[in-house]
């Protein structure tokens, strides 16, 4: 197998909500993942528009916004999507990007789940349940 093919298999596709730190977007991108940031691609988008974009582009949404839990229940998201809700205290500004990226990159099974990252634990529930 070619190196490019293997990288494509390992690459995750993320959609970072407007409230997600740019430093974390940069670390995820530098780690070889495909990351679109709402703050630069579609600022001011409503939550339903953000969720629709994640669904259409088959991306895992990264957010601090609890409203996506209710939206995910009502939406029929494909298994290639996912939502990662971060409920952690903020790290120091110089470290936030690395801390968030490490939490997210510690797993590769975000797709198909509504996940909540809290201090010391990760809760995952299949989408649509």
Q: What is the pLDDT of residues 65-95, one digit of tens each?
A: 999 988 888 888 888 899 999 998 876 767 8
Residue span of the structural domain in which 78 resides = 3-126
Tokens 């957010």 locate to 63
Q: Is the dihedral of CA 117, 122, 128, 129 positive or negative?
A: negative
Give the Cα separation of 9 and 13 in Å (integer): 11
Identify the band that residue 4 occupies on the pLDDT scale cut at 50, 70 and 90: very low
Phi–psi pair at 63, nearest 5 degrees: -155, 160
Tokens 């601090």 locate to 64
Task: Give the domain CATH number at 99.
Answer: 3.40.50
Q: What is the pLDDT of residues 23-48, one digit of tens each?
A: 999 999 999 999 999 999 999 999 99
Number of domains composing the chain: 1
Task: Please check the confidence at residue 7 and state whether its pLDDT lies above 50.
Answer: no
The overall pTM is greater than 0.75: yes
């Amino acid at each position: 197998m070619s190196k490019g093919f293997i990288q494509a298999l390992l690459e995750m596709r993320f959609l970072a909500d407007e409230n997600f730190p740019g430093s974390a977007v940069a670390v995820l991108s530098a780690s070889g993942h495909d990351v679109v940031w709402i703050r630069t691609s579609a600022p001011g988008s409503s939550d339903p528009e953000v969720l629709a974009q994640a669904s259409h582009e088959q991306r895992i949404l990264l957010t601090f916004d609890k409203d996506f839990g209710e939206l995910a229940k009502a939406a029929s998201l494909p298994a290639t999507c996912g939502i990662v809700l971060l409920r952690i205290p903020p790290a120091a500004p110089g470290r936030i990007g690395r801390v968030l990226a490490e939490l997210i990159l510690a797993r590769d099974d975000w797709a198909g789940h509504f996940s909540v990252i809290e201090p010391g634990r990760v809760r995952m529930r299949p989408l649509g349940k």
